[in-house]
Amino acid sequence: MSHSLLTAAVLVAQILLLLAMSFSIIRMVRGPRAQDRVLALDALYVNAMLLLLTIGIRTGSLLYVEAGLIIALLGFAGTVALSKFLMRGQVIE
Amino acid sequence: MSHLDALPPWAAILVAVFVLLGALLAFVGSLGLLRLKNFYQRVHAPTLGTTLGTFFMLAASITCFSVLHGRPIFYEVLIGVFLTLTTPITLMLLVRAALYRDREEGSADVPQVTPKD
């Protein structure tokens, strides 16, 4: 009983996270300016990391946690580089 | 569903509640990103998912794997520490860049500075 509850909860959570990802993709496509798109990309990778964690809970594999850690690291680097580019017009000075 | 059957009922219910809360917070954050009016309002919304949403999801993951493996597992804390450290840095950089661009253009969206006294 409680296990079917857990499976249903994980499924609902995955659907919610997919909706959240599609909202950030809509914001990224719609803009209106470059900083909105960068912000939407930031939200998108955080939501993707949360989705990976739920997949990890459903499959019972710790590998997905490592993948989430890598997404968090690379997303940080990407957002910082993009904001630097918006500020100065170049990434490395 | 073989491995989830090994969870005792209290752990299953706890994990279910944590997962649902985390996903709901991330969903509300992204909804705010979509619905709010200008950039300086929108920048607040996704932090709901990056702080509290991530916290609940990591709590669910820690509970699930610690009970399944029979020993405490804390890899997930790394993600939490990292996101807590980096989110303010990225958002400060991004908002500074946005302020600079908006002031260059004389945009009306820039929040006005209110005098102290």
* ipTM confidence: 0.87
- Which position has the higher pLDDT, B117 or B48? B48
Say what the pLDDT of residue A23 is: 92
> Mean pLDDT for chain A?
88
Say what the pLDDT of residue B10 is: 85
Q: Per the omega criterion (within 30 degrees of 0), is the bond before B115 cis?
A: no
Say what the pLDDT of residue A93 is: 64
Could you tell me which of B43, B29, B30 has the C-alpha nearest to residue B90?
B43
Nearest Cβ partner of A13 from B20, B43, B50?
B20
Nearest Cβ partner of A24 from B30, B65, B79?
B30
- The pair of three-digit structure tokens given for residue A35, joined into one six-digit string: 């900083």
pLDDT in tens, B13-50: 888 999 999 999 999 999 999 888 888 888 888 898 88
Say what the pLDDT of residue A25 is: 93
**Chain A, nearest residue to B5 by Cα:** A3
| Percentage of the residues of chain A whose pLDDT score is greater than 70 | 95
Q: Where are the domains of chain A?
A: 2-88
- Which position has the higher pLDDT, B112 or A46? A46
Contacts 24+ apart (CB under 8 A), A15-18: A16/B23, A16/B24, A16/B26, A16/B27, A17/A47, A17/A50, A17/A51, A17/A54, A17/B23, A17/B26, A17/B27, A18/A51
For testing the chain A interface, which of B27, B40, B41, B67 should be mutated: the one with the most A CBs within 10 Å? B27
| B4-15: average pLDDT | 83
CA-based nearest distance A67→chain B, Å: 10
Determine the Cα angle at B84 with ends B78 and B90, to 5°.
120
Could you tell me which of A47, A30, A29, A40 has the C-alpha nearest to residue A82?
A40
d(CA B19, CA B59): 8
Tell me the pLDDT band of B56, cut-offs 50, 70 and 90. very high
- CATH top-level class of A2-88: mainly alpha
Contact assignment for A39 to B43 by CB distance below 8 Å: yes
> pTM of this prediction?
0.87
| A61-70: average pLDDT | 88
A19 vs B: CB within 8 A: yes
B22 vs A: CB within 8 A: yes
Whether the Cβ atoms of residue A57 and residue B15 lie closer than 8 Å to each other:
yes
Say what the pLDDT of residue A47 is: 92
Say what the pLDDT of residue A49 is: 92
Contact assignment for A35 to B49 by CB distance below 8 Å: no
Question: Is the pLDDT score of A91 beyond 70?
Answer: no
DSSP state of B111: P
Say what the pLDDT of residue B6 is: 76
pLDDT in tens, A8-40: 888 999 999 999 999 999 999 987 888 899 999
Whether the Cβ atoms of residue B33 and residue B93 lie closer than 8 Å to each other:
no
Say what the pLDDT of residue A88 is: 79
Residues in contact with A43: Cβ distance below 8 Å, sequence separation at least 6, in sequence order: A20, A24, A27, B29, B30, B33, B45, B46, B49
Coil/strand/helix, residue A62:
coil
B65 vs A: CB within 8 A: yes
Tell me the pLDDT band of A46, cut-offs 50, 70 and 90. very high
B-chain residues within 8 Å CB-CB of A3? Answer: 1, 4-5, 7, 12
A-chain residues within 8 Å CB-CB of B86? Answer: 72, 76
Say what the pLDDT of residue B113 is: 73
